[in-house]
Amino acid sequence: MSTSAAATTDLSEKQRRILEYLRGEADAKTYFKSRLIGQDLDMTAKEVGTNMTAIAAGDFEVDVEKWGYSSSTTWKVTT
């Protein structure tokens, strides 16, 4: 099992859902608002923000950085 695959198993269900969403969307865009991710995944912006910190701290195929706070936290996601 690769390090990334092993780390993914340590994530909660919500964190895995967010990570899969980011993996699928990161090629098309770079900036994501917690509010909009939440709408797409049926979560609140607060749930997304709380769970994004674990993804940002982990070693996955995407790099996540907290970017801005206007009307919802914005995350910069790169592959």
pLDDT digits (tens, 9 = 90+) for 21-39: 999 999 899 999 999 999 9
What residue numbers bound the domain in which 41 lies? 3-78
Total structural domains within the chain? 1
Rg of the chain on CA atoms, in Å: 12
pLDDT digits (tens, 9 = 90+) for 38-58: 999 999 999 999 999 999 999
Rounded to whole angstroms, the maximal C-alpha distance in the chain is 40
The CATH number of whichever domain residue 17 belongs to comes to: 1.10.10.10
> pTM here?
0.84
